[in-house]
Chains A and B, each alone.
Chain A
Amino acid sequence: MTAHRLRSIIWKEFIQMRRDRATLAMMLGIPVIQLLAFGFAIRMDVRHLPMAVYDESRTQESRELIQKLQATDNFDVTRHVDSYAAANRLIDRGTVRAAIVIPVDYARRIKRGRPSTAQMLVDASDPNTSQNAIAAAQLVGQRKNIEVLTALSRAPVRMETPPVEIRVRPLYNPALKSAIFIVPGIIGLILSVTMLMITSMSVVREREQGTLEQLIVTPITRGEIMIGKIAPYVLVGYVQLTAVLTLGHLIFQMPIRGSLLVVYAVTFLFITANLGLGLFVSTLAKTQTQSMQGSYFFFLPNVLLSGFMFPREGMPHVAREVGLLFPLTYYIQILRGVLLKGATFFDVLPQTGMLLLLALVFFGFSVKRFQKRLG
């Protein structure tokens, strides 16, 4: 291996990268766009659902209930209707996502100390959205109960109040903001795209255009070809990592509680594992289109099963096991641990070990295959 030949191929790779404006824009623009899109748009903590109000009671009590619901920030009153059917219709059309129906005798029954009912209609077609809303509405109801019972007995109620109150204190992400949770995932996602798709396409392009055939009759070794083609993308990966970390920190106030050195070091393993997959795809694909499709084959399960968007705890057993084969699964756990919780290198040692194993297996296997396919 000579430094001179290696330098030539890296130099060439950077020129090609610079000339291919579309790919360059994709590599540098997509991290930013994805960060902004996911960070602002993906909300697992759904708030401000548009709500319709059908208030037959029209009393101080009913207005108070509505105001309390709004005060949770989960609901915004956007419509007032005068029939149950009208409320239903608005939900069907999607104009509102929830409706509160307060019957005529609502206030009267409360005053007499009799059970009073208000009905909350929630569009539960998206379970994520509705769960928060339902929980919030129930909480408002419970508080009201305690309030009413207290008022009736003129002294703090002992028996009827729940004897135990569990106060939940959310750790690490007290505001329960999705963006913070999403940023580490985005880093993993973007690095996967670059290493898997763009690298495999750049190798396949050489085969497609006949330049790989030309290279193997020159004194350049297969190892030099491979390292020369890969190294520039590793650098791109680190630029992407830095960009997303910086923007995530500045825009979404994502904390960086642990050591950045651990993040950058572990990223090398993650990059290597994904490059392995990328090289593997490049040995299978004959055209750039095929390599694109092949990359998707690995990319999608990666995203879906890694815990990037859907919690792995909620997955069926098989899906969870399959997810254990993906580098992204461990990488996301490590990033979330180190960045959000301040985990040390020793805390994330098990995941790092698995990442190392996957990197060695994927990369080793693909390099063998790649070298063989070259000849």
Chain B
Amino acid sequence: MPESFPGAEPVVLVRSITRRFGRIVAVDDVSFEIFPGEIFGILGPNGSGKTTTIRILCGLFEPTSGSARVAGVDVVQDPDAVKSRIGYMSQAFGLYRDLTIEENLRFYAGVYGLENDWRERVRWAIQAMHIIGQPNQLAGTLSGGIKQRLALACALLHRPPVVFLDEPTAGVDPAARRLFWNIIRGLADKGTTMIVTTHYMDEAEKFDRLAFLSRGKLKAVGTPAEVKRSFGAGQSLEDIFIAIQEKEEP
């Protein structure tokens, strides 16, 4: 909640970004800010502009207009500089199935430029992420939950202040999802900002704050309670979500 971060500098600052693909407006004049140590949700149905927004913040897409700063870097002016300050975990996990747990970690450590302390970081990741299994087990043979945590570990090796998680819990069983959220909470408590997209509404309560996107437009931003209040009392986020979607797509 904004009140709980008095005077804090936002770690992510989005100022009226718009991104067009031809005649389609994927992101339409969206602004929000995210504070250090928050778990920030970006919610919305498929095609609402979640992924495009994240890609702009990761420096992969240039916005058609507007500006954004992530971890002190202007992503429009200097999209390459932001990459070493963020972690990114995609829905596809981005693991090499034919590499072992340890090899995947070692590879990403190398890609992120870790030189002397990679062994120590890999040991930390295996322990902190509860990656159960032999370090020389091939990633392709791991269960969904362990794959998910290994992917997160790969994104955290270089100690990024901001981590983007794109639909991280898709296709993972409930027990593993709970463990995953506990890890996320633990990381946020230690000051890492976690930005998560999802369309699982039951997960929305786990966010400190969230942004609601629909058809590229920002419909609401705030704590889950604030968002609920702004749409009228007594409704669950899921009801609101469906109501917005139905209004947009008659």
Interface residues of A (CB under 8 A from B): 2, 4-5, 7-9, 11-12, 15-16, 19-20, 209-211, 213-221, 375
Contact = CB atoms under 8 A, between A and B. Distances in A.
B238 interface: no
B95 A16 contact: no
B103 A15 contact: yes
B111 interface: yes
Contacts of B58: 217
Nearest to A214: B94
B37 to A, nearest CB: 22
A217 B88 contact: yes
Contacts of B60: 216-217, 375
A4 B110 contact: yes
Given A217-B86, A219-B83, A8 B110 contact: yes
Nearest to B140: A209
A12 B107 contact: yes
Contact of A219 (B94, B112, B164): B112
Interface string B93-110: 111111100010011111
B80 A12 contact: no
18 contacts: A5-B111, A5-B113, A9-B110, A9-B111, A15-B103, A16-B98, A209-B97, A211-B92, A211-B94, A214-B88, A214-B90, A214-B94, A217-B164, A218-B88, A218-B111, A219-B80, A219-B84, A219-B113
Given A216-B60, A219-B113, A11 B107 contact: yes
Given A211-B94, A218-B83, A12 B113 contact: no
A215 B90 CA distance: 11
Contacts of B90: 210, 213-214
How large, as a class, is the contact surface on chain B?
A: 20 to 34
B92 A210 contact: yes
Nearest to B97: A209
A11 B110 contact: yes
Contacts of B93: 210, 214
Closest CB pairs A-B (n = 10): A214-B94, A210-B92, A8-B110, A217-B88, A219-B84, A219-B83, A19-B98, A12-B107, A218-B111, A220-B111
Interface SS of chain B: helix, strand, loop or mixed? Answer: loop
A4 B92 contact: no
Interface of B: 58-61, 80, 83-84, 86, 88, 90-99, 103, 106-113, 115, 154, 164
Given A4-B110, A217-B86, A219-B80, A209 B92 contact: yes
Contacts of A19: 98-99
- Chain A interface mostly helix, strand, loop or mixed? helix
Nearest to A375: B60
Q: Which of B59, B84, B110 has the most CB of A within 10 A?
A: B110
Given A217-B60, A219-B84, A211 B111 contact: no
B99 A16 contact: yes
Contacts of A5: 110-111, 113
Contacts of A15: 98-99, 103
Contacts of B98: 15-16, 19-20
Nearest to B58: A217
Contact of A4 (B86, B99, B113): B113
Contacts of A210: 90-94
Contacts of A12: 96, 99, 103, 107
B111 A219 contact: yes
B166 to A, nearest CB: 9
B103 to A, nearest CB: 6
Nearest to A220: B111
Contacts of A8: 106-107, 109-111
Contacts of B86: 217
Contacts of A11: 107, 110
Nearest to A9: B111
Nearest to A228: B111
Given A15-B103, A216-B60, A217-B86, A4 B95 contact: no
B70 to A, nearest CB: 12
